[in-house]
Amino acid sequence: MAKWDKFNDFEVVIRELGKLVEKYGRFPTLGEIDEECPRGLVEAISNQHGGISRVKNMVGMPNDNKTLSSFFEQNADVVAQKLLGRYVFAQEDGRIHVARLTEVAGYEGYTKTSSIGMDYAPGTISISTKYGNKLVDIATGESGHPSCVTLRGGMNFDGSEMFIGPSNLSKALGITKDNREHFNRIPVDSTKLWIVGDGVPVKDIYLKEGNSENCFGFYSWDF
C-alpha cells in the first residue's frame, strides 16, 4: 500500500486542505494543492473523491456557503430540525475539524442559565459554558429576542465515531477553553466555523424532552 493511500480518507484530505485554506483565506486551486501538499493528494481528489469541484462543494468554504445567515432567522425549533444531517466545519491554525450533526436543541426565552448569545443577531455563534463544558450555540429568530440552537451531538464522515453530548461535539470540532474566543461571536458563514450540506427527511427526525423550561426539546435523527 502506497503511503499516500491515506488520502482515500476524506477527513485526512480535509486536514491537508485546511493548511492552504488558512494560508490563502480561500479554497486553494488544484495547482496550489499539487505544489504545496504531499504527493498523492491531487490524485486522491481526482480519482477517489469526485474531483476538485465536488470536494470544494463538500467542504463548502464560506464564500460559497449555501447556508446563509438568513437561514437562522427562522424559529429555533425549525432551525434545530433543519440542521440535522448537515456538516459543521471548524478551523483554527490551518486545521479543519468536521462533524455531521446528529442532535440539536432549540431554545426560546430566558432562564437563569441561558446563554447571552441568545440575543445576538441570527446566525451568530457563541461559545457558552455549562458545568465546565464548552457548548456551541447559534442565535436564531430576531436580534435582541432570546432564541438559539445548541449543537448537541454529531459523528465523523463515515459514521464510525460518535460525538455524544455537546461537550464531546465541541472537542471533536477542536473548540476548547483555550481557544473559545476564536469562535465566539462570529457569523456562522465565517472562515472559522461554517455549516453546509443538506438536512434529513422530517420522517427521520424524533424529539426528546429538553433540559429546561425554555427548551423546545432535543431533535435527533434516525441514521
- Kindly state whether residues 181 and 88 are assigned to the same domain: yes
- 91 within 8 A of 22, measured Cβ to Cβ: yes
What span, in angstroms and rounded, lies between the C-alpha atoms of 149 and 195?
A: 13
- Look at residue 51 and tell me if it is in a domain: yes
Cβ neighbours around 170 below 10 Å, total: 25
Q: What pLDDT does 156 receive?
A: 87
- Look at residue 119 and tell me if it is in a domain: yes
Longest dimension (CA), the chain: 56
Q: What pLDDT does 62 receive?
A: 56
Cβ neighbours around 210 below 10 Å, total: 15
- Kindly state whether residues 111 and 211 are assigned to the same domain: yes
Cβ neighbors of 28 (< 8 A, separation 6 or more) are 17, 20, 21, 36
- Kindly state whether residues 20 and 93 are assigned to the same domain: no
- Look at residue 44 and tell me if it is in a domain: yes
Task: Name the residue range of residue 54's domain.
Answer: 3-59
- Kindly state whether residues 126 and 23 are assigned to the same domain: no
- Kindly state whether residues 50 and 98 are assigned to the same domain: no
- Kindly state whether residues 210 and 107 are assigned to the same domain: yes
Please give the single-letter amino acid code of residue 78: V
- Kindly state whether residues 96 and 186 are assigned to the same domain: yes
CATH number at residue 188: 3.10.300.10
- Kindly state whether residues 36 and 103 are assigned to the same domain: no
What span, in angstroms and rounded, lies between the C-alpha atoms of 123 and 188?
A: 5
What span, in angstroms and rounded, lies between the C-alpha atoms of 161 and 77?
A: 26
Cβ neighbours around 83 below 10 Å, total: 24
DSSP letter assigned to residue 78: H
- Look at residue 115 and tell me if it is in a domain: yes
- Kindly state whether residues 73 and 54 are assigned to the same domain: no
Cβ neighbors of 134 (< 8 A, separation 6 or more) are 127, 128, 167, 170, 171, 175, 176, 177, 180
- Look at residue 38 and tell me if it is in a domain: yes
The residue whose grid cell reads 429555533 is 76
Q: End of a domain among 40, 59, 78?
A: 59
Q: Extract the residue ranges of the chain whose pLDDT is less than 50.
A: 1, 64-67
- Kindly state whether residues 76 and 37 are assigned to the same domain: no
Q: Total domain count for the chain?
A: 2
Summarised one tens digit per residue, pLDDT across range 127-185 is: 998 888 899 999 999 988 999 999 999 998 778 899 999 999 999 999 998 999 999 99
- Look at residue 109 and tell me if it is in a domain: yes
- Kindly state whether residues 180 and 205 are assigned to the same domain: yes
Helix residue ranges per DSSP H, 76-210: 76-83, 166-172, 180-183
End-to-end CA distance of the chain: 32
- Kindly state whether residues 105 and 185 are assigned to the same domain: yes
- Look at residue 64 and tell me if it is in a domain: no
The vertex-198 CA angle with 80 and 158, nearest 5°, equals 100
Q: What pLDDT does 1 receive?
A: 45
